[in-house]
């Protein structure tokens, strides 16, 4: 369910004109990976020269009203931090405490094609690691307090300036009874003022504190790294649906018990040997990973077309109009398998080529020599809302 919708025609019409640039300044991606990725922070002045944001403050506020964009409004007044989760309403922006507030909206790339283009500039990191683009707005003096995150992030400065302070060594104690994780005793080791187009890379667990110097917007390109616990929990859930074991517990040799409340050791032994039947193959792990990494987040809904074309109409239309991946789709490949929004599809070499063109946003109709299986797969994706015809990517 979404309460308010926007469309490409009203939001984010600005585009990224330096599409091919890798935003690492003079640094080669290999050098970045070897020396900085997951190791140490890096400030890149004019990583994206001329970058002045992709949406206005008003557009960000409009996005924060969507059910399917995760948004947070952080305020600080009377020595108290407060947090309100979206969807946010107009009244939430009335009576804000002067300069001490911040609006943060996650998954902006699900709504704005140019935001998706911006993420593609970071393809020197595999998409399997990419999470989303978060955009924040704060008036001069605003921020969300000193904290650390458990993921890698590129903090790209949009319009306005922000002062960033960072520290590798810090006391991890948090301010108690606050709805946000804010460090109690933060002491900066380094500080910079970032101007539009400047970017700061931070590895996980680096303490940071950003305070708006002017009213400003910051674009956070965030990555995902599951905890061991999360991976194992999710794998066990996956296994539940993929494991089928025959047999029943039996005890034809049951002996008379002295104490009927006692769990006897024969029963324990039998259950131990039944549970040893929980096994998995390498392909189970590979498929689990593809499904897990492409599963839409709980608040994300892919919208099927209201009046879908018939298969016959669809086959004709794809010769003339180009198909695009929905901005909300997550797709990854593993040899002949395509993982799309938590589902697995088997494809041949030709289909993989077409899909790659779709992903690179090549505005071209589909070649007419598709095999029947590929046509059916594409149709299924269209009916599910995973792909749509170009110029209507506002799902």
Instruction: Look at residue 102 and give the partner it binds from Co ion, ligand SIN, none, a contact being a CB closer than 5 to 8 Å depending on partner kind.
Output: ligand SIN
Rounded CA Rg of the chain: 25
Judged by beta carbon, residue 183 or residue 358, the one nearer Co ion is 183
Angle at 159 between CA 102 and CA 212, to 5 degrees: 40
Judged by beta carbon, residue 105 or residue 388, the one nearer ligand SIN is 105
User: Can residue 210 be called a binding residue for ligand SIN (CB under 6 A)?
Assistant: yes
Q: Which stretch binds ligand SIN (CB under 6 A): 123-131, 141-149, 284-292, 385-393?
A: 141-149
The dihedrals phi and psi of 2, each to the nearest 5 degrees, come to -125, 135
CA angle 210, 211, 216 (to 5 degrees): 100
Residue-wise DSSP of 144-202: --SB--SS-EEEEE-SS-EEEEEESS----B-TT-SS--BSS---SEEEEEPTT-EEEE
Residue 73 in contact with ligand SIN, rule: CB under 6 A: no
Residue 70: which of Co ion, ligand SIN, none does it interact with, CB under 5 to 8 A by kind? none
Nearer to Co ion, 149 or 195 (CB): 149
Helix/strand/coil for 131: strand
Cα atoms found within 13 Å of the Cα of residue 313, Cβ hemisphere only: 7
Least distance from C-beta 111 to ligand SIN, angstroms? 18
Number of residues that bind Co ion (CB under 5 A): 1
State both tokens at 175.
């301010």
* 153 binding ligand SIN? (CB under 6 A): yes
Q: Which residue is at the shortest CB distance from Co ion?
A: 149
Site mask for Co ion (CB under 5 A), range 127-166, x = bound: ----------------------x-----------------
Please choose which of Co ion, ligand SIN, none residue 218 contacts, taking the beta carbon within 5 to 8 angstroms, the exact cut-off set by kind: ligand SIN
Min dist CB 217 to Co ion, Å, is 15
Q: Per CB under 6 A, does 144 bind ligand SIN?
A: yes
- Chain-centroid distance, C-alpha 180: 20
Of 102, 106, 157, 393, which lies in the binding site for ligand SIN, with binding defined by CB under 6 A? 102
What distance in Å separates the CA atoms of residue 346 and residue 327, rounded to the nearest whole number? 22
Residue 106 interacts with ligand SIN (CB under 6 A)? Answer: no
Distance CA 168, CA 184 (A): 15
Which residues on neighbouring strands pair with residue 81, listed in sequence order? 76
CB of 18 to Co ion, least distance (A): 26
Segment lying near ligand SIN (by CB under 6 A), choices 142-150, 230-238, 346-354, 385-393: 142-150
Contact between 169 and 206 under an 8 Å Cβ cutoff? The reply is no
Q: Which of 57, 110, 121, 208 binds ligand SIN (CB under 6 A)?
A: 208
Nearer to ligand SIN, 61 or 144 (CB): 144
| Cβ(130)–Cβ(223) below 8 Å | yes
- Cβ closest to Co ion, residue 98 vs residue 204: 204
Of ligand SIN, Co ion, none, which one sits near residue 136, judging by CB under 5 to 8 A according to partner kind? ligand SIN
Distance of alpha carbon 17 from alpha carbon 13, whole angstroms: 12
Looking at 6, 106, 116, 220, which residue binds ligand SIN (CB under 6 A)? 220
| Helix, strand or coil, per DSSP, at residue 221 | strand
* Spatial distance between the Cα atoms of 372 and 369, rounded to a whole number of angstroms: 9
CB neighbour list of residue 117: distance below 8 Å, 6 or more residues apart: 15, 16, 19, 361
Footprint of Co ion (CB under 5 A): 149
Question: Could you list the residues that contact ligand SIN (CB under 6 A)?
Answer: 102, 136, 143-144, 149, 153, 208, 210, 218, 220
């Amino acid at each position: 369910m979404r309460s308010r919708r926007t469309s490409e025609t009203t939001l984010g019409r600005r585009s990224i004109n330096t599409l091919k640039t890798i935003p690492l300044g003079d640094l080669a991606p290999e050098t970045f990976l070897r020396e900085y990725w997951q190791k140490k922070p890096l400030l890149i002045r004019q990583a994206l020269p001329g970058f002045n944001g992709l949406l206005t403050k008003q557009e960000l506020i409009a996005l924060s009203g969507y059910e399917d964009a995760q948004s947070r409004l952080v305020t600080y007044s009377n020595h108290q931090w407060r947090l309100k989760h979206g969807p946010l309403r107009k009244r939430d922006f009335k009576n804000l405490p002067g300069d001490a507030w911040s609006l943060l909206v996650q998954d902006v790339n699900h709504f704005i094609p140019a935001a998706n283009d911006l993420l593609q500039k970071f393809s020197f990191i595999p998409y399997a690691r990419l999470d989303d683009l978060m955009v924040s707005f704060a008036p001069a003096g605003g921020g969300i307090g000193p904290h650390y995150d458990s993921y890698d992030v590129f903090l790209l400065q949009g319009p306005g300036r922000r002062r960033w302070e960072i520290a590798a060594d810090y006391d991890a104690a948090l301010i108690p009874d606050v709805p946000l994780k804010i460090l109690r005793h933060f002491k900066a080791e380094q500080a910079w003022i970032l101007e539009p187009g400047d970017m700061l890379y931070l590895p996980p667990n680096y303490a940071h504190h950003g305070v708006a110097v002017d009213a400003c917007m910051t674009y956070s390109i965030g990555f995902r790294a599951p905890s061991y616990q999360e991976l194992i929990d999710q794998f066990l859930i996956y296994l539940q649906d993929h494991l089928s074991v025959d047999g029943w517990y039996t005890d034809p040799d049951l002996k008379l018990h002295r104490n009927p409340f006692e769990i006897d050791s024969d029963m324990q032994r039998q259950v131990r040997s039944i549970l040893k039947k929980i096994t998995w193959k390498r392909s189970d792990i590979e498929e689990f990973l593809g499904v897990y990494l492409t599963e839409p987040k709980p608040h994300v809904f892919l919208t099927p077309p209201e009046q879908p074309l018939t298969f016959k109409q669809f086959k004709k239309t794809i010769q003339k109009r180009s198909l695009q991946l929905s901005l909300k789709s997550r797709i990854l490949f593993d040899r002949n398998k395509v993982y799309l929004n938590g589902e697995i599809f088997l494809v041949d070499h030709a289909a993989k080529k077409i899909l790659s063109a779709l992903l690179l946003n090549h505005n071209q109709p589909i070649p007419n020599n598709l095999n029947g299986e590929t046509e059916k797969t594409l149709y299924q994706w269209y009916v599910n809302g995973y792909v749509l015809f170009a110029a209507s990517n506002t799902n």
